[in-house]
Amino acid sequence: MSKTVFKASDISKSFPGVQALSSVDFDLKEGEVHALVGENGAGKSTLVSIVAGLQNPDSGLMQLDEQTYQPGGKADAEAHGIRMVMQELHLIPTLSVAENIFIERLPSRFGFINYNKLNLDTRQVMQRVGLGGIEPDVQVGRLGVGQQQMVEIAAGLSRRCRVLALDEPTASLTDREIDLLFTQIEKLKADGVGIIYISHRIEEVIEIADRVTVLRDGIVVFTGQTSDLSPGEIIFKMVGRDLQQEQLRHGSKSGPTALRVEGLTVGQKVQDVGFEVASGEILGVAGLMGSGRTETMRAIFGADKAERGRIYLYEANEPAEIRSPRDAVRNGIALLTEDRKEQGLLLNLAVRKNISLARLNDISRFGWLDLSREKAIASRYVDAMSVRCLSVEQTVGELSGGNQQKVVIAKWMYRDCDILIFDEPTRGIDVGAKFDIYHMLSDLAEKGKAIIFVSSDLKELMAVCDRIMVMSAGRVAETFERRKWSREKIMSAAFSGYMDI
Ligand SMILES: Nc1ncnc2c1ncn2[C@@H]1O[C@H](COP(=O)(O)OP(=O)(O)OP(=O)(O)O)[C@@H](O)[C@H]1O
Ligand SMILES: [Mg+2]
């Protein structure tokens, strides 16, 4: 029996209007991975943020190595060897990778930062998470979300600790990066570090965790060994219904071409990309991180400038002029991005405002905002997406990570565009809500919308798409029809652009 490193007993925490945690018991052994799962808003982040000293519980006790542990803040928790990698990115985009990782302990001599040492140390840390290729002096803001997340994880792993909490570390990582992370986790386990692991990916939890605790509405409904459980059993405990039985897509009849892209080229990242998507169709876009998927979508949406390429809408003989997102929206194209903070939401505004901002004309009359209409519309979308909030008046920043993501989707749904591009829409969303989104995508397609669905989760692409286009090294490697694809075929297409001939 290995020793218990950390123990929390009878922890409760409430926010105005919500009981985020009720009498939660949780313990962690040396060298153990203990997963924490539950629907969006179940209280997972709240629990680990209490463990990591970011918040105080209303009541309850914590123990570290059998001593009373009552952190006075994040720094105090860290001094006790408890670290956390947070769900939301907390890097400073204008600083370099190296500065972000070593921000609290920059190596200096006589008051000057020793950049040689800094870069050397950073390279080592980054190599450990398999990102040796990223230059230490690159500005973090220039990296993609997945890479930023790896930097954040690298920063967490770079310091010794007793307890490490990872809050959805893999949400925007690709399979290869997840493998690298898991290798690191195995090493930490061997060193006796206890790891609290939050994830919405149930297969992953079964693979990496020794035990799992399921939270539902702030209450622990289950704690036990993962080896005894199937994914279906864990999901059932989380959401109280059986999702695997649900039938998603019945093969659709698609209509005329809605969007056709030709020869799209953006720097080195996107090269001569061409494809089309029809009304009523869901086109999946698969590929490794950095394969140019996001860049392609941003260029179509007019968010980035393309050097070359044409976009045709419907039957038009002339290409559409899309030079900015505004042009794109005017042409009925919406882009829902993976980076909800940067491009999706105004965190200090109410849910209602975030949704209605998408279409202010609609709810204003003679220049006056029609408040009751705004409220009614926002409530309708909040219900449709099962956003967990106190009311549409609550500030978006107070919602749990997954519920924020649902507000982004609600906002775009309200805008009612005919060509919808979703870039990793289910990142950080719980399994139950994921299925809601899949159903929603299906429904939208049935209604004749053309949908492009970018995802790193092959299983979800295979569940909902009519066709899957695979990008590799900035090009379209292959496109598969439903029933003609397999995981292996898609993966080999995804790697094809990186093979040396
Ligand atoms: N600062 C806050 N103010 C008000 N309510 C909050 C605050 N932080 C969290 N909550 C609420 O507490 C509940 C639990 O949130 P928490 O972030 O712990 O959920 P979670 O399990 O991490 O969900 P997700 O999977 O979406 O990240 C939610 O109802 C959330 O809205
Ligand atoms: Mg959370």
With a pLDDT cut of 70, the percent of the chain lying above it is: 90
Same domain, 159 and 78: yes
Is residue 427 in a domain? yes
In the numeric block, which tokens belong to residue 151? 């930097």
pLDDT given for residue 476 in this prediction: 97
Nearest CA-CA partner of 473 in 274, 262, 288:
288
Residue nearest to atom 27 of ligand 1 (CA): 401
Is residue 455 in a domain? yes
The CATH number that applies at residue 50 is 3.40.50.300
d(CA 8, CA 64): 9
User: pLDDT-derived band of residue 241, with 50, 70 and 90 as boundaries?
Assistant: low
Q: How far is the CA of 72 from the centre of ligand 1 (A)?
A: 21
With a pLDDT cut of 90, the percent of the chain lying above it is: 41
Tokens 């290729």 correspond to 133
Answer whether residue 328 shows pLDDT above 60: yes
pLDDT given for residue 249 in this prediction: 60
Answer whether residue 247 shows pLDDT above 60: no
Same domain, 387 and 313: no
Q: Does residue 185's CB lie within 6 angstroms of at least one atom of ligand 1?
A: no
Q: How far is the CA of 422 from the centre of ligand 1 (A)?
A: 24
Residue nearest to atom 24 of ligand 1 (CA): 40
Q: Does residue 44's CB lie within 6 angstroms of at least one atom of ligand 1?
A: yes
Residue of 45, 87, 403 to test ligand 1 pocket, by largest number of atoms within 8 Å of CB: 45
Q: Does residue 80's CB lie within 6 angstroms of at least one atom of ligand 1?
A: no
Q: Does residue 352's CB lie within 6 angstroms of at least one atom of ligand 1?
A: no
Q: Does residue 42's CB lie within 6 angstroms of at least one atom of ligand 1?
A: yes
Q: Does residue 40's CB lie within 6 angstroms of at least one atom of ligand 1?
A: yes
| Angle subtended by helix axes 401-415 and 371-384, to nearest 10 | 120
Same domain, 183 and 71: yes
* Domain interval for residue 115: 4-239
Is residue 338 in a domain? no
Residue nearest to atom 7 of ligand 1 (CA): 398
pLDDT (mean) for 125-129: 78
Q: How many helices (H) and strands (E) does the chain have?
A: 17, 23
Other CB atoms within 10 Å distance of the CB of residue 284: 26
Same domain, 363 and 434: no
Q: Which of 235-249, 280-294, 450-464, 486-500 has the lowest mean pLDDT?
A: 235-249
pLDDT given for residue 63 in this prediction: 97
CB 2 within 8 A of CB 31: yes
pLDDT given for residue 146 in this prediction: 74
Q: Does residue 13's CB lie within 6 angstroms of at least one atom of ligand 1?
A: no
Is residue 400 in a domain? yes
Give, as one character, the DSSP assignment of residue 344.
I
Residue nearest to atom 18 of ligand 1 (CA): 43
Same domain, 197 and 267: no
Answer whether residue 230 shows pLDDT above 60: yes
Q: Does residue 280's CB lie within 6 angstroms of at least one atom of ligand 1?
A: no
289: helix, strand or coil: coil
pLDDT digits (tens, 9 = 90+) for 82-104: 988 877 667 787 888 888 888 77
Same domain, 221 and 299: no
Residue of 46, 215, 217, 351 to test ligand 1 pocket, by largest number of atoms within 8 Å of CB: 46
The per-residue pLDDT of the chain, averaged, comes to: 86
Examine the fold and report which residue of 389, 416, 443 is the final residue of a domain before the chain moves on: 416
d(CA 79, CA 298): 43
pLDDT digits (tens, 9 = 90+) for 28-73: 999 999 999 998 889 999 999 999 999 999 999 999 999 999 999 9
Answer whether residue 268 shows pLDDT above 70: yes
Same domain, 203 and 127: yes
Is residue 368 in a domain? yes
pLDDT digits (tens, 9 = 90+) for 169-208: 887 777 777 888 888 889 889 989 999 999 988 888 999 9
Q: Does residue 172's CB lie within 6 angstroms of at least one atom of ligand 1?
A: no
pLDDT given for residue 500 in this prediction: 55
pLDDT digits (tens, 9 = 90+) for 392-428: 999 988 988 888 888 888 887 887 789 999 998 887 7
Answer whether residue 337 shows pLDDT above 90: no
Q: Does residue 403's CB lie within 6 angstroms of at least one atom of ligand 1?
A: yes
158: helix, strand or coil: coil
pLDDT given for residue 342 in this prediction: 58
Q: How far is the CA of 402 from the centre of ligand 2 (A)?
A: 7
User: pLDDT-derived band of residue 501, with 50, 70 and 90 as boundaries?
Assistant: very low
CB 439 within 8 A of CB 425: no
Element housing 427 (H / E): none
pLDDT given for residue 367 in this prediction: 60
Same domain, 137 and 14: yes
Is residue 363 in a domain? yes
d(CA 173, CA 165): 17
Number of domains in the chain: 3
Is residue 223 in a domain? yes
Nearest CA-CA partner of 242 in 251, 231, 250:
231
Same domain, 397 and 423: no
pLDDT given for residue 363 in this prediction: 56
Q: Does residue 431's CB lie within 6 angstroms of at least one atom of ligand 1?
A: no
Answer whether residue 343 shows pLDDT above 60: no
Examine the fold and report which residue of 368, 383, 416 is the final residue of a domain before the chain moves on: 416
Q: Compare 249 and 67 and report the one with higher pLDDT.
A: 67
pLDDT given for residue 307 in this prediction: 94
Q: Report pTM.
A: 0.71
pLDDT given for residue 212 in this prediction: 97
Same domain, 235 and 276: no
User: pLDDT-derived band of residue 126, with 50, 70 and 90 as boundaries?
Assistant: confident
Is residue 235 in a domain? yes
d(CA 395, CA 354): 9
User: pLDDT-derived band of residue 149, with 50, 70 and 90 as boundaries?
Assistant: confident
Answer whether residue 273 shows pLDDT above 70: yes
Report the C-alpha dihedral over residues 42, 45, 48, 53, rounded to 10 degrees: -130
Same domain, 67 and 126: yes
pLDDT (mean) for 466-485: 93
pLDDT given for residue 295 in this prediction: 93
pLDDT given for residue 369 in this prediction: 65
d(CA 217, CA 3): 30
Q: Which atom of ligand 1 is nearest to the CA of 215?
A: 21
Same domain, 306 and 428: yes
pLDDT (mean) for 111-134: 79
Q: Compare 430 and 266 and report the one with higher pLDDT.
A: 266
250: helix, strand or coil: coil
Q: Does residue 426's CB lie within 6 angstroms of at least one atom of ligand 1?
A: no
pLDDT digits (tens, 9 = 90+) for 466-475: 999 999 999 9
Q: How far is the CA of 36 from the centre of ligand 2 (A)?
A: 10
Examine the fold and report which residue of 239, 256, 280 is the final residue of a domain before the chain moves on: 239
Do strands 219-225 and 211-216 pair parallel, antiparallel, or not at all (unpaired)? antiparallel
Q: How far is the CA of 450 from the centre of ligand 2 (A)?
A: 31
How big is the CA angle at 322 (ends 316 and 327), to the nearest 5 degrees? 105
